């Protein structure tokens, strides 16, 4: 069988790497299983895309749809047109989409509209309940047309069941992002900012912000960053800046001797900083998962999360988007009262193997 693996944005690359390795193992064992890696080109900047292929040993894509930048609708349209053309010329047996980015939704739609190709959604069933997030729309649309669902938690399973998905199409397997983290933990790289800012383990804060609700309004973004810096007890605040946020920062004139605004980091460098930080403050979902597994306190500047297990089990806490909530959270951190957290079930580094084993069973591969 031929499996298309779709990747288009930074979180996707982290999630597909172990799936590719697991398929190669099946193929080497004599199973009739081949893959085709399709890069949609949603993230095309080297720091947001190319470095991940190098660091995570992901093979070069078989196809690059080169969607590039644009509005949500423009990107969706370009990806659908490009993937439809590929499928019409050379169809696959199964399309695997991961996560909740535009590429995930666009390719799942194209696959179903071209000969009703089966779609497997890795990380299916997660929900934030916040329909202002483009990712939530992507999740709902993708899950509404997917055939198989590989989930990260019991919460995701229940979300799918409530929406009418039969039990026999839902497979609780764990988290492929954590597969990648465990594999590469021994290879994490100290970035240049470590020496430049004279960082030491546990003596700095790592911050990421990119959600439109936090970064598109200059006044709000300035309030958040100012409150974080003022609450950080003079610890360095390291801020790798997402391209969306960089455009806004240029107009705000935010500066402080403890604030270090740096370019986006590669996977190995960024997680080196997370692993050794005093805490993480973010509005990213994936980072909350990585911080949970590494046992690092995590503060999330959002009103909801599609990964509630990082809060109920892990080290994450939702602060909301009100800057007034930041100082009390830092007081809790510095008082030593932040929760220790545990690792969610099946986040053990073997998720991709479970996914590919299940696909082999579904398709009766010998």
DSSP 33-84: -EEEEEE--SS-SGGGTHHHHHHTTPPPPSEE----S--HHHHHHHHHHHHH
Region of residue 260 (left: phi > 0; alpha: psi -120 to 50; beta: else): beta
- Which member of 43, 184, 210, 242 is catalytic? 210
Residue from 65, 149, 70, 56 nearest 110 by CA? 65
Three-class secondary structure of residue 160 per DSSP: helix
Burial 187-204 (b: 16+ CB within 10 A, else e): ebeebebbeebebeeeeb
Contacts of 52 (CB under 8 A, 6+ apart): 10, 13, 14, 58, 266, 267
Q: Are 309 and 153 in contact, with CB atoms under 8 Å apart?
A: yes
Q: Which residue has the tokens 């050794």?
A: 276
Q: Are 151 and 307 in contact, with CB atoms under 8 Å apart?
A: no
- Whether 39 is catalytic: no
Catalytic residue numbers read: 210
């Amino acid at each position: 069988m031929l499996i298309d693996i779709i990747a288009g944005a930074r979180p996707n690359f982290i999630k597909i790497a172990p799936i590719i390795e697991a398929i190669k193992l099946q193929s080497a064992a004599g199973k009739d299983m081949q893959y085709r890696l399709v890069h949609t080109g949603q993230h095309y900047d080297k720091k947001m895309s190319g470095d991940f292929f190098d660091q995570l040993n992901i093979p070069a894509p078989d196809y690059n749809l080169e969607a590039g930048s644009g509005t949500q609708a423009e990107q969706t349209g370009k990806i659908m047109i490009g993937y439809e053309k590929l499928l019409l010329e050379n169809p696959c047996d199964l399309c695997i989409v991961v996560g909740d980015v535009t590429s995930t939704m666009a390719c799942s739609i194209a696959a179903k509209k071209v000969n009703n190709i089966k779609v497997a959604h890795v990380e299916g069933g997660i929900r934030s309940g916040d329909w202002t997030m483009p990712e939530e729309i992507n999740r709902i649309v993708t899950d509404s047309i997917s055939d198989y669902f590989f989930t990260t938690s019991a919460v995701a399973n229940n979300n799918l069941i409530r929406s009418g998905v039969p039990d026999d199409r839902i497979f609780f397997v764990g988290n492929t992002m954590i597969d990648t983290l465990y594999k590469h933990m021994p290879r994490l790289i100290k970035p240049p900012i470590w020496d430049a800012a004279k960082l030491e383990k546990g003596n700095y804060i790592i911050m990421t912000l990119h959600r439109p609700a936090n970064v598109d309004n200059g006044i709000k973004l300035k309030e958040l960053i100012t409150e974080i810096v003022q609450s950080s007890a003079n610890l360095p605040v390291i801020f790798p800046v997402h391209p969306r946020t960089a455009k806004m920062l240029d107009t705000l004139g935010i500066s402080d001797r403890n604030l270090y605004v740096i370019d986006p980091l590669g996977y190995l460098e960024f997680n080196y900083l997370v692993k050794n930080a005093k805490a993480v403050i973010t509005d990213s979902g994936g980072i909350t998962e990585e911080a949970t597994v590494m046992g690092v306190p995590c503060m999330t500047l959002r009103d909801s999360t599609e990964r509630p297990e990082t809060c109920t089990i892990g080290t994450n806490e939702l602060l909301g988007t009100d800057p007034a909530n930041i100082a009390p959270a830092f007081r809790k951190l510095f008082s030593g009262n932040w929760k220790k957290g545990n690792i969610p079930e099946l986040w053990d580094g073997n998720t991709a193997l479970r996914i590919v084993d299940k696909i082999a069973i579904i398709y009766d591969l010998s």
